[in-house]
Amino acid sequence: MTSKNVTLIGAPTDIGAGSRGASMGPEAFRVANIGPVLEGHGLSVLDRGNLAGPANPWQPPVDGYRHLPEVITWNRNVHEAVYAELRDGRLPILLGGDHCLGIGSISAVARHCREAGKKLRILWLDAHADFNTNGLTPSGNIHGMPVACLCGHGPKELVEIGGHVPAINPKWIRQIGIRSVDQGEKRFVHEVGLEVFDMRYIDEMGMRHTMELALATLDAHTHLHVSFDVDFLDADLAPGVGTTVSGGPTYREAQLCMEMIADTGRLASLDVMELNPALDIRNRTAEVAVDLIESLFGKSTLMRQQH
Ligand SMILES: [Mn+2]
């Protein structure tokens, strides 16, 4: 079951991103009242404050990676912080920070699941597949590589972070909302057999059917992790991200997505990534994200009775 004890962990860095500003994300979530909003749903919220890590040196790529040493340090710090909360039976919410930190977070979740004998299902809500490698990436930005790293394709220090290679099996992931994938990356996604519900699929089949499939076969022993890249949302709804892509889920589709996840009662860890206050308009994107997170934890827009 979803734990009532939630921990907020801020990771104030844009070390893996292509633009500066996601380092201010954690504070923007707090300004948008993420803690009190979750407490309003009967959760006990502990804010651990922000993790520390190296500054962003803003350098060009080396061997296809930008800022690899700094990315490694940040991910190790995130891994330890997330793992400690899970070991304590708490539900960690990682406030990014850019999406490269998904490596540290999800490797910690996978490690916890191995030790606790749980199955893992990961919902990757994103405009991008984040399945680049240093040979495929056009930019060298590691926020485009976390899924590949978790599946064992990446630099040794990132791939080995949770002590088990690969950290996860690609079959455990469902990607939703995808609409911007680089050419080589697309071939690689097909090669490993990632299950992707792209926007074409959502447009044709609807969010309800998409989520029914993405959440199928969960059981009482499944740990459900959500990795929510705020650029999952349509650019008009969520301007405060570094890599906006138009044609994403509307507010209503995103609400349904979150509510259907909440209905499973299996949510056990969450990353909310890539919020960039420098690009936002009066913290609107942070407020939309907090509103959706509220739904993820059971706020319902429904009139019908819930049991
Ligand atoms: Mn992403």
Query: pLDDT for 96-152, tens place per residue?
Result: 999 999 999 999 999 999 999 999 999 999 999 999 999 999 899 999 999 999 999
206 — alpha (psi -120 to 50), left (phi > 0) or beta? left
Distance 129 CA to ligand 1 centre (A): 7
Given the residues 128, 153, 223, 225, the one annotated as active site: 128
Report pLDDT digits (tens) over 169-191.
Answer: 999 999 999 999 999 999 999 99
46 within domain boundaries: yes
- Residue 143 a catalytic site member: yes
303 within domain boundaries: no
Q: 3-state DSSP call for residue 51?
A: coil
CA distance 16 to 215: 29
- State how many domains the chain has: 1
Strands ordered across the beta sheet of 91-96: 44-50, 5-11, 91-96, 267-273, 222-229, 119-125, 173-178, 195-198
Report pLDDT digits (tens) over 194-212.
Answer: 999 999 999 999 999 999 9
Range of the domain at 43: 5-296
CA distance 116 to 136: 35
DSSP state at residue 275: B
String of b and e for 145-183 (b: at least 16 CB within 10 Å)? bbbbbbbbbbbeebbbbbeeebbbebebbbbbbbbbbbe
302 within domain boundaries: no
Answer whether 0.95 is exceeded by the pTM.
Answer: yes
Distance 101 CA to ligand 1 centre (A): 10
Distance 227 CA to ligand 1 centre (A): 8
The β-bridge relationship of strands 222-229 and 119-125 is parallel
109 within domain boundaries: yes
Distance 180 CA to ligand 1 centre (A): 11
CA distance 273 to 78: 13
301 within domain boundaries: no
Q: Are 78 and 52 contacting, i.e. CB atoms less than 8 angstroms apart?
A: no
- Residue 291 a catalytic site member: no
307 within domain boundaries: no
Residue 171 belongs to a domain with what CATH number? 3.40.800.10
Distance 307 CA to ligand 1 centre (A): 34
50 within domain boundaries: yes
Would you place residue 252 in the very low, low, confident or very high pLDDT band (cuts 50, 70, 90)? Answer: very high
What confidence score (pLDDT) does residue 206 get? Answer: 98
Given the residues 85, 98, 130, 259, the one annotated as active site: 130
Q: Tokens standing for 301?
A: 């827009």
